[in-house]
Structure 1
Amino acid sequence: MRGTQPPTISKSFSLSILENTLHKTTGIKPDDALCVAFSGGMDSHVLLHALKQLAVDFPFRLRAVHVEHGLHEESLKWADHCASVCGELDVPFTTRHVDVDYKRGDSLEAIARQARYAVLRDEMSQGEFCLTAQHADDQAETVLLQLLRGAGMHGLAGMPAVTEFGRGSLARPFLNVTREALAVYAHEHEFTWVEDPSNRDSRFDRNYLRNEVMPLLGKRWPGVATALSRSARHAATAADMLEVQGESDLTACQMHTSSGDALTIAYLNASLLRRLPTQRQANALRCWIRQHDMKLPSHARLHAAMTDLLVRNKSGQGMAKLPGVSLRLDGDALFLCAAIDHVTQSALVEYAWDPACLLEIPERDLLLKSTPAMGQGCAIKQLTGRQLTVRWRSGGEQCRMAGDFGRKPLRKVFQDLGIPQWRRDEAPLIYIGDELVAVSHYWQNPHFSPAFNERGLVFSVHDSSALQSSFD
């Protein structure tokens, strides 16, 4: 579900309007921790000053963070200005520096914004609110930009007033206030603020709308910002309805979700999904991808993937690669997977592993971990003093069966376990010498099993990008 949308637009600004927004729209309560993203510009200066005034009767904990990109020769002076303002207001202040890494062809505007929000997200403490000063005119520009990009309902809904953000929430309490109203407050209090000269550069899309297009629209339709913000609220309602429908369809088509499997995020029943009308199929898949915080494909790319996997596919096996994610079909199961461009020669790479430590396999974005367990996994006494190595399937591997039942080809073990074809080459193989000890978390050599009262190690495989921090 999208975050809360702002109330109707106010053409004036006062502390009472801000207090009402904090209470009724953002859900901020007394004693909550607030962190203002303070650029030093007029809008964030008004926000910081007004919050400081409210804090007298509304006792929240207030601090400010300035993100310094180093993209302008005056950026260090801007950081000093922010520190000075916070000193005058007696607000705790932090500057965070970030290097913006972009390549030719990238949107510097977008890359800088992503870097800024990444820093702010990391800065959040548990339950804290990060407050930014986007206002009604910014919302109007956002909606117009999304419209020109051909966005759907989620894009046309613009910026929510409050949404989840890192360990806390991101709140935008000025979305119901115009830039003009904030300027009146700033001049009344005789603020000085920094002006980023890049804001006048109309080569950037948003600046072009702000400097060239919106003034023209405003002359013909004076209420353009209010009208676009109202459209954003309507789009947000429609987006929420689509999300509810998508979640309902996913529940109806769900097989199960992965448990400890780094290679797969979730499964759907492809046969049940096919029974839905095409537009509901697409909506359910978008909802599915969005639930897992992955990049949404374009309308054309998603419908091409649906056609390849759900309509034309007769073999029951297939894959569709999308930006940042892949869909894989195996029989009736449709898998959602993180898209990793594996090194083609990685099957030739062998890793030595001390199971007392994590083993990171960077080209596959995997971590191998062992967990002590009584009577489970591989007996520690059989592993002590022996070198474990991790390899990859190359063909001809044999798995030793229990008792005197000889060996069985790994290919047949995979078939018996029902492991989808595409996942077999992804599974790490754990060896001692030439003896296959375990295959990922799917199979373990029974001749290495501990007695019920012996200590063992249970091997598991994880997505390193998602779980590294929890192991540190």
Structure 2
Amino acid sequence: MRSALPTFNEVWQRQFRSSFLKQGSQFSDQTTFLIGCSGGMDSMLLLFLLSEIYPDRVRAIYVNHQLQRVSDDWAVFVENYCLAKNIPVIVQNVAVLSGNLENQAREARYRAFEQHLQANEILLLAHHQQDQAETLMLRLLSGAGVQGLSAMKMIDQREKITMWRPLLDLSREQICQWVRQLQIPYVNDPTNLDTHFDRAWCRQELWHILQSRFPKMQDALSRTSYLMQDADEILNEVLAQDLAYCGHDRQLDLHKLKQLSKARQRQLLSVWMRGKSNYRPAYDMVERLQDEVIDAKVDAQGALHWNGFYYVRYQNVLHRLAQDIYLADQQPKPSDIHLKFELNQQIDLHSGQFKIESHDMGLSPELLGKVLNLRWRTGGEKIHLYGRVGTWPLKKAIQGAQIFPWMRQTIQILSIDNVMLGVFTPQGFWLAQSKYCEVGGWQPKLISSL
């Protein structure tokens, strides 16, 4: 026969309060707490506990997804409870985009949290042990790796939000008992019983079958998530070392990448492709990157498009390019422009930012203040580079300088009266031999590459 759960007062005095305060001690005395409160049993218990432990440092936020008729009533319920307890409360209506309803509702909710979080404020969520176990199981069924199986962290630091989940080790049964003992009011969300949603199906259909066979399943799955969090932390340390060795967030040296084991190559490519987004690419997308780009024939111009970026190989280096950069040469070029230069002037061009400076050898000072022409390459141009013998096709000079193919569309030619004065490139200004070259002249100096 299953033993009775300890009462709220027993656990509160012996264990939970001290654990709560120990977790909270990681934050400063000036930290305030914003509690995501849906009006459900879990979040109402969390709101009650936090207002008892940290009076005057707690606010609540109810995010109204406007997906059910009663959602406005729940907003009023949360507002009235907070008013009675003297807890500041925010009610934020959000619009949920079409698509996967669970995912879109979650995204809308977190955008609302970000909007209202103040400086030095922590977001508290009421996820409990069964939520953790369900998350791990659903991610396992979706084919997640170590990071996904880490599930939810007790304290989770993201780019814009610090989240704290104090109830994560508490069972739902214990929460139900405490809510009854403390006589805390709450609302019931019928979507928690709607098995069209994966989590509700898992809870209503699958959970009791597995638990009847494995009574300690929930504890075991929760423990696995903590083991995966340790493994993920170790893996991230290795990945940071591998990334520093192979390159940076925009490019990887393929010679160095191939010195790693196959497993480390896959993991590094996966986290590198993720960049600053929340999710890594699917396993088959990483395989496509290896097959179609990295291991393609030397003369192949393979490119893989994923999540707004293009992945291309050039000179045995793998590059991660924003879509607008990679596709820029497919866009129509604007008209030629006419401009005047003055010493110390800074100009922003497609190839970079330049500053007009005096130079031992450069363009005649007589050209300062005169109208000069700046035009795009059209193909077939030739250039006599200053200090070089003979005239070269501009295309050959660009290839010899190993300017990336996707950056060649930024190159512009400076001229006056059809006389080429020089070329603006991502590597700097190339001075052309002409009657306007003089000792003590001036040149545009590249000060930052765009």
What does residue range 183-262 of structure 1 map to in structure 2 within 5 Å?
Answer: 183-254=176-247, 257=248
Corresponding position of 1:136: 129
Corresponding position of 1:154: 147
| Distance (whole Å) between structure 2 residues aligned to residue 82 and residue 387 of structure 1 | 68
Q: Once the 2 structures are TM-superposed, how far is the Cα of residue 270 of structure 1 from its aligned partner?
A: 0.5
Q: Once the 2 structures are TM-superposed, how far is the Cα of residue 428 of structure 1 from its aligned partner?
A: 7.7
Which stretch shifts more, 306-315 or 276-285?
A: 306-315
Corresponding position of 2:344: none
Distance 1:101-1:395 versus aligned 2 partners, 3 A rule: farther
Distance 1:370-1:94 versus aligned 2 partners, 3 A rule: farther
Distance 1:353-1:99 versus aligned 2 partners, 3 A rule: farther
Corresponding position of 2:343: none
Q: Once the 2 structures are TM-superposed, how far is the Cα of residue 121 of structure 1 from its aligned partner?
A: 2.5
Q: Once the 2 structures are TM-superposed, how far is the Cα of residue 133 of structure 1 from its aligned partner?
A: 0.8
Tell me, yes or no, if structure 1 residue 170 matches structure 2 residue 163.
yes
Q: Once the 2 structures are TM-superposed, how far is the Cα of residue 269 of structure 1 from its aligned partner?
A: 1.0
> 1:359-387, CA deviations, whole angstroms, 9 ceiling, x for partnerless residues?
xxxxxxxx9899897849xx9xx999989
What does residue range 391-430 of structure 1 map to in structure 2 within 5 Å?
Answer: 395-396=379-380, 411-412=395-396, 414-425=398-409, 427=410
Give the secondary-structure state (helix, strand or coil) at the position aligned to 1:49: helix
Which stretch shifts more, 155-164 or 324-333?
A: 324-333
Give the secondary-structure state (helix, strand or coil) at the position aligned to 2:403: coil
Corresponding position of 1:326: 310
Q: Once the 2 structures are TM-superposed, how far is the Cα of residue 100 of structure 1 from its aligned partner?
A: 1.4
* Identity within the alignment, %: 26
Q: Once the 2 structures are TM-superposed, how far is the Cα of residue 349 of structure 1 from its aligned partner?
A: 5.3
Corresponding position of 1:39: 38
| Distance (whole Å) between structure 2 residues aligned to residue 75 and residue 304 of structure 1 | 44
1:267–1:333 Cα contact (<8 Å) kept:
yes
Which stretch shifts more, 129-138 or 187-196?
A: 187-196
Corresponding position of 1:30: 29
What does residue range 371-410 of structure 1 map to in structure 2 within 5 Å?
Answer: 375=357, 395-396=379-380
| Distance (whole Å) between structure 2 residues aligned to residue 369 and residue 114 of structure 1 | 37
| Distance (whole Å) between structure 2 residues aligned to residue 234 and residue 228 of structure 1 | 10
Give the secondary-structure state (helix, strand or coil) at the position aligned to 2:302: strand
Tell me, yes or no, if structure 1 residue 51 matches structure 2 residue 44.
no
Tell me, yes or no, if structure 1 residue 67 matches structure 2 residue 63.
yes
Normalization by structure 2: what TM-score?
0.77
Corresponding position of 1:466: none
Give the secondary-structure state (helix, strand or coil) at the position aligned to 2:331: helix
Distance 1:82-1:320 versus aligned 2 partners, 3 A rule: same
| Distance (whole Å) between structure 2 residues aligned to residue 321 and residue 80 of structure 1 | 47
| Distance (whole Å) between structure 2 residues aligned to residue 415 and residue 189 of structure 1 | 76
Structure 1 residues without counterparts, runs of 5 or longer = 1-9, 258-264, 356-366, 463-472
Which stretch shifts more, 158-167 or 119-128?
A: 119-128
Q: Once the 2 structures are TM-superposed, how far is the Cα of residue 423 of structure 1 from its aligned partner?
A: 3.6
Q: Once the 2 structures are TM-superposed, how far is the Cα of residue 393 of structure 1 from its aligned partner?
A: 6.5
Corresponding position of 1:101: 97
Q: Once the 2 structures are TM-superposed, how far is the Cα of residue 308 of structure 1 from its aligned partner?
A: 2.9
Which stretch shifts more, 237-246 or 168-177?
A: 237-246
* Amino acid paired to 1:14: W
| Distance (whole Å) between structure 2 residues aligned to residue 26 and residue 128 of structure 1 | 14
* Amino acid paired to 1:53: E
Normalization by structure 1: what TM-score?
0.74
Q: Once the 2 structures are TM-superposed, how far is the Cα of residue 236 of structure 1 from its aligned partner?
A: 1.7
Q: Once the 2 structures are TM-superposed, how far is the Cα of residue 221 of structure 1 from its aligned partner?
A: 2.3
Corresponding position of 1:298: 282
| Distance (whole Å) between structure 2 residues aligned to residue 208 and residue 93 of structure 1 | 32
Distance 1:24-1:275 versus aligned 2 partners, 3 A rule: same
Corresponding position of 2:345: none
| Distance (whole Å) between structure 1 residues aligned to residue 413 and residue 44 of structure 2 | 58
Distance 1:77-1:251 versus aligned 2 partners, 3 A rule: same
Q: Once the 2 structures are TM-superposed, how far is the Cα of residue 313 of structure 1 from its aligned partner?
A: 3.0
Q: Once the 2 structures are TM-superposed, how far is the Cα of residue 47 of structure 1 from its aligned partner?
A: 0.9
Corresponding position of 1:350: 334
Kindly name which structure, 1 or 2, has the bigger radius of gyration based on alpha carbons: 2
| Distance (whole Å) between structure 1 residues aligned to residue 329 and residue 120 of structure 2 | 45
Q: Once the 2 structures are TM-superposed, how far is the Cα of residue 92 of structure 1 from its aligned partner?
A: 1.7
Q: Which has the higher contact order (CA 8 A, sep 6+)?
A: 1
2:308–2:322 Cα contact (<8 Å) kept:
yes
2:292–2:304 Cα contact (<8 Å) kept:
yes
Structure 2 residues without counterparts, runs of 5 or longer = 1-5, 340-348
Corresponding position of 2:267: 283
| Distance (whole Å) between structure 2 residues aligned to residue 428 and residue 97 of structure 1 | 49
Corresponding position of 2:257: 273
1:85 to 81, 86, 93: 81
> 1:412-455, CA deviations, whole angstroms, 9 ceiling, x for partnerless residues?
45434422223434x4869899999985754447699xxx9x9x
Give the secondary-structure state (helix, strand or coil) at the position aligned to 1:111: helix
2:423–2:431 Cα contact (<8 Å) kept:
no
| Distance (whole Å) between structure 2 residues aligned to residue 48 and residue 222 of structure 1 | 30
Tell me, yes or no, if structure 1 residue 126 matches structure 2 residue 119.
yes
